[in-house]
Amino acid sequence: MESELEIKSDRGKTHIKVGYVDVSFIVNKFMTIQAGNFLTPLGTYQERLHPMWINKLPDFPLGFGHDDLLPITETGAGIRGGFSVLKSKLNYALFVSNGPQLSDGGHIPRTEGMLLYEDEDTSLFGFLNFRQNYRDNNSNKAMGGRIGILPFPNSSLELGVWAESAIVGAKYGAHTHSGSSLDVPDYSKVRSRLYGFDFSYLTKVSFLKGMIDIKGQWNKIKTDYAKYLNTYDTSGVVWSYSFANHSVDYYAQCSYRLFSFENNIINKSDICFRYSYMKTPKGSLWEKDIKQYTLGINYWLNWHSVLKLAFRMETGNRERQAIFLQWAMGF
Per-residue pLDDT at 113: 79
Q: Which CATH number fits domain 2-294: 1.25.40, 2.40.160, 3.40.50, 1.10.4040?
A: 2.40.160
CB atoms within 10 A of CB 129: 25
Per-residue pLDDT at 121: 45
Per-residue pLDDT at 202: 96
Burial letters for 160-193: b for 16+ Cβ neighbours within 10 Å, e otherwise?
Answer: bebbbbbbbbbeebebeeeeeeeeebebeebebb
Query: Mind listing the pLDDT tens digit for each residue in 99-122?
Result: 888 887 765 666 777 877 554 444
Domain range summary for the chain, segments of one domain joined by +? 2-294
Per-residue pLDDT at 255: 96
Secondary structure of residue 69 in the 3-state scheme: coil
Instruction: Count CA atoms within 13 Å of residue 283 on its CB side.
Output: 10
- Residue 266: which residues within 8 A CB-CB, separation 6 or more? 258
CB atoms within 10 A of CB 93: 23
Per-residue pLDDT at 309: 97
User: pTM (2 decimals)?
Assistant: 0.85
- E strand or H helix that includes residue 265: helix 264-267
Low-confidence ranges of the chain (pLDDT < 70): 5-11, 15, 17, 66-68, 106-110, 117-138, 171-184, 231-236
Task: Supply φ then ψ for residue 208, to 5 degrees.
Answer: -95, -5
In whole angstroms, how far apart are CA 17 and each of 4, 14, 20, 72?
Answer: 9, 10, 9, 15
Burial class (CB in 10 A: 0-12, 13-18, 19+), 1: exposed
Per-residue pLDDT at 267: 86
Confirm if 93 and 87 have CB atoms less than 8 A apart: no
Per-residue pLDDT at 313: 97
Per-residue pLDDT at 135: 61
Per-residue pLDDT at 244: 92
Total length of the chain: 331
